[in-house]
Amino acid sequence: MLSVKNLHASVFDTPILKGLNLEVNAGEVHAIMGPNGSGKSTLANVVAGRPGYEITEGTVEYQGKDIREMDASERAGEGVFLAFQYPVEIPGVSNMAMLKAAINSLRKYRGEGEMPAAEFLQLIKEKAALVEMKQELLKRSVNEGFSGGEKKRNEILQMAMLEPTLALLDETDSGLDIDALKIVSKGVNALRSPERAMVLVTHYQRLLDYIVPDYVHVLSDGKIVKSGDKSLALELEEKGYSWIEQELQQAS
Amino acid sequence: MTEVVEKNRDLKELVKREYKEGFVTDIESDTLPPGLNEDVVRIISAKKNEPEFMLEYRLKAFRRWQKMREPEWAHIDYPKIDFQDISYYSAPKEMPKLESLDQVDPKLLETYEKLGIPLEEQKMLANVAVDAVFDSVSVRTTFRETLSAAGVIFMPISEAVHEHPDLVKKYLSSVVPVQDNYYAALNSAVFSDGSFVYIPKGVRCPMELSTYFRINEMNTGQFERTLIIAEEGSYVSYLEGCTAPQRDENQLHAAVVELVAHKDAEIKYSTVQNWYPGDENGKGGIYNFVTKRGLCKEDGAKISWTQVETGSAITWKYPSVVLQGDNTVGEFYSVALTHNKQQADTGTKMIHMGKNTSSTIISKGISAGHGQNSYRGLVKILKGADNARNFSQCDSLLMGDRCGAHTFPYVEVQNPTANLEHEATTSKISDDQLFYLMQRGLSEEAAVSMIVNGFCKEVFRELPMEFAVEAQKLLDVSLEGAVG
Amino acid sequence: MSIAADQTQSWLDQHPGAPLAGAGASWLDSARANALALFERIGLPGVRDEQWRYTNLRALKSKLYQPAANSQSDWSLPESDHPRFVLVDGVYNAGLSNLEGVAKGVQFMPLDDAVADSRFDLETRFGSTLPAQQHGFSALNTAYCQGGYVLMLGAGATSKSPLEVLFLNSATDSTADASAISHTRNFIIADANSQCTVIERHQGTDGSVYLHNTITEIIAGDNAHIDHYKIQQDSCDAFHIGGVFIEQARSAQVKTHNLALGGLVARNDVRASLSGEGAHIEMNGLVFGRGRQHVDNHTEVVHAVPHCTSDEYYRSVLDDQSRSVFRGRIIVAQDAQQTNAEQQNNNLLLSAGAEADTKPQLEIYADDVQCSHGATVGQLDPKSLFYLNSRGIDTESARALLTFAFANEVIERIAIESVRDEMTQLIAGALLDGMEELL
| CA atoms of B44 and B243, how far apart (whole Å) | 31
Percent of chain C predicted with pLDDT > 70 = 96
* B224 close to B253: Cβ distance less than 8 angstroms: yes
Q: What is residue C101's predicted lDDT score, i.e. its pLDDT?
A: 85
The winner for highest mean pLDDT among A85-89, C186-190, C389-393 is C186-190
Q: What is the mean pLDDT of residues C306-333?
A: 95
Q: What is residue A248's predicted lDDT score, i.e. its pLDDT?
A: 79
Position B180 pLDDT exceeds 50: yes
Q: What is the mean pLDDT of residues B426-440?
A: 90
Going by C-alpha positions, the residue among A193, B164, B3, B405 that lies closest to residue C371 is B405
Going by C-alpha positions, the residue among C233, C137, C239, C264 that lies closest to residue C179 is C239
Q: Which of A70, A73, A85 would best serve as a mutation to test chain B binding (most B beta carbons within 10 A)?
A: A73
Percent of chain A predicted with pLDDT > 70 = 100
C362 has which bridge partners?
A: B407, C330
Position A187 pLDDT exceeds 60: yes
Nearest CA in chain A to B446: A101
* C436 close to C428: Cβ distance less than 8 angstroms: yes
Residues of A in contact with B440 (CB under 8 A): 76, 98-99, 102, 105, 158, 162
Assess C417–B contact: CB distance below 8 Å, yes or no. Answer: no
Going by C-alpha positions, the residue among C146, C215, C207, C148 that lies closest to residue C181 is C146
Q: Are strands B195-199 and B225-230 parallel, antiparallel or unpaired?
A: parallel
| CA atoms of B316 and B287, how far apart (whole Å) | 8
Residues of B in contact with A73 (CB under 8 A): 438-439, 441-444, 447
pLDDT tens sequence across B230-270: 999 999 999 887 666 666 666 888 999 999 999 999 999 99
The answer to whether the Cβ–Cβ distance between A102 and B440 falls below 8 Å is yes
pLDDT band at B216 (very low <50, low <70, confident <90, very high): very low
The answer to whether the Cβ–Cβ distance between C357 and B412 falls below 8 Å is yes
Nearest to A92 among B440, B446, B457 (CB): B457
pLDDT tens sequence across C237-282: 999 999 999 999 999 999 999 999 999 999 999 999 999 999 999 9
Q: Distance between the two ends of chain A, CA-based, in angstroms? A: 33
Return all residues near C365 (Cβ < 8 A) that are at least 6 apart. Answer: B403, B404, C331, C332, C333, C334, C336
* B462 close to B270: Cβ distance less than 8 angstroms: yes
| CA atoms of C133 and B472, how far apart (whole Å) | 43
Q: What is residue B23's predicted lDDT score, i.e. its pLDDT?
A: 33
Choice among A22-31, A213-222, A241-250, B376-385 with the minimum mean pLDDT: A241-250
Amino acid letter, C161? S
Instruction: Give C16's DSSP letter.
Output: T
C109 has which bridge partners?
A: C150
Q: Distance between the two ends of chain B, CA-based, in angstroms? A: 68
Return all residues near B303 (Cβ < 8 A) that are at least 6 apart. Answer: B259, B261, B266, B267, B269, B294, B295, B296, B321, B329, B330, B331
Q: What is the mean pLDDT of residues C15-29?
A: 81
Choice among B454-468, C192-206, C400-414 with the minimum mean pLDDT: B454-468
Return all residues near A41 (Cβ < 8 A) that are at least 6 apart. Answer: A85, A170, A171, A201
Maximum pairwise Cα distance, chain C: 70
Return all residues near C39 (Cβ < 8 A) that are at least 6 apart. Answer: C8, C11, C12, C136, C139, C140, C143
| CA atoms of A38 and A33, how far apart (whole Å) | 9
Alpha-carbon torsion angle C116, C117, C121, C126, nearest 10: -40
Return all residues near C276 (Cβ < 8 A) that are at least 6 apart. Answer: C222, C248, C249, C250, C251, C252, C305
The answer to whether the Cβ–Cβ distance between B436 and A162 falls below 8 Å is no
What is chain B's mean pLDDT, rounded?
A: 84
The answer to whether the Cβ–Cβ distance between B430 and A97 falls below 8 Å is no
Task: Give this complex's ipTM.
Answer: 0.88
The answer to whether the Cβ–Cβ distance between B450 and A162 falls below 8 Å is no
Burial B143-161 (b: 16+ CB within 10 A, else e): beeebeeeebbbbebbebb
Q: What is residue B210's predicted lDDT score, i.e. its pLDDT?
A: 67
Interhelix angle C417-431/C395-411, rounded to 10 degrees, is 160
Amino acid letter, C433? D
Q: What is residue C6's predicted lDDT score, i.e. its pLDDT?
A: 60
> Strand ranges (DSSP E) for B274-401?
287-296, 302-309, 314-317, 320-323, 329-338, 343-352, 358-368, 372-381, 389-399
pLDDT tens sequence across B459-473: 999 988 777 888 888
Position B376 pLDDT exceeds 50: yes
Going by C-alpha positions, the residue among B15, B82, B81, B11 that lies closest to residue B47 is B11
Going by C-alpha positions, the residue among C155, C163, C184, C145 that lies closest to residue C108 is C163
Choice among A113-122, B210-219, B261-270, B374-383 with the minimum mean pLDDT: B210-219
* B271 close to B257: Cβ distance less than 8 angstroms: no
Interchain CB contacts (distance < 8 Å): A and B: 82
Choice among A9-18, A92-101, C387-396 with the minimum mean pLDDT: C387-396
Nearest CA in chain B to C368: B428
Q: What is residue C375's predicted lDDT score, i.e. its pLDDT?
A: 94
Task: Give the 3-state secondary structure of residue A134.
Answer: coil
| CA atoms of C113 and C109, how far apart (whole Å) | 7
Interhelix angle B431-439/B444-460, rounded to 10 degrees, is 110
* C344 close to C311: Cβ distance less than 8 angstroms: no
Chain A: closest CA distance from residue B413 (Å): 32
pLDDT tens sequence across B270-324: 998 888 888 888 888 889 999 999 999 999 999 999 999 998 899 999 999 999 9
Residues in A lying within 8 Å of B, measured between beta carbons: 48-52, 71-73, 75-77, 81-82, 84, 86-88, 90-93, 97-99, 101-103, 105-106, 109, 141, 158, 162
| CA atoms of A200 and A182, how far apart (whole Å) | 15
Residues of C in contact with B396 (CB under 8 A): 362, 364
Nearest to B403 among C357, C367, C371 (CB): C367
Assess B386–A contact: CB distance below 8 Å, yes or no. Answer: no
Neighbours of chain A (3+ CB pairs under 8 A): B
Q: What is the mean pLDDT of residues A220-240?
A: 89
Q: Do chains C and A touch (3 or more CB pairs under 8 A)?
A: no
Assess B442–A contact: CB distance below 8 Å, yes or no. Answer: yes
Position B163 pLDDT exceeds 60: yes
pLDDT tens sequence across A33-82: 988 788 999 999 999 999 889 999 999 999 999 999 999 999 999 999 99
Q: What is residue B6's predicted lDDT score, i.e. its pLDDT?
A: 52
Helices and strands (H and E) in chain C: how many = 10, 20
Amino acid letter, A97? A
Q: What is the mean pLDDT of residues A136-144?
A: 90
Nearest CA in chain B to A159: B440
Q: What is the mean pLDDT of residues C101-106?
A: 91
Strand order in the sheet with A65-66: A14-24, A2-11, A53-62, A65-66
pLDDT tens sequence across A99-131: 999 999 999 999 999 999 999 999 999 999 999
Position B10 pLDDT exceeds 60: no
Q: Which of B407, B434, B483 would best serve as a mutation to test chain C binding (most C beta carbons within 10 A)?
A: B407
Q: What is residue C385's predicted lDDT score, i.e. its pLDDT?
A: 86
Is the pTM higher than 0.90? The answer reads: no
Task: Give the 3-state secondary structure of residue A145.
Answer: coil
Provide the H-helix boundaries in A5-94: 40-48, 72-78
Residues of A in contact with B431 (CB under 8 A): 51-52
Q: What is residue B429's predicted lDDT score, i.e. its pLDDT?
A: 85
Residues of A in contact with B453 (CB under 8 A): 92-93
Q: What is residue B4's predicted lDDT score, i.e. its pLDDT?
A: 45
Q: What is residue B219's predicted lDDT score, i.e. its pLDDT?
A: 47
Q: What is the mean pLDDT of residues B163-169?
A: 96
What is chain A's mean pLDDT, rounded?
A: 91
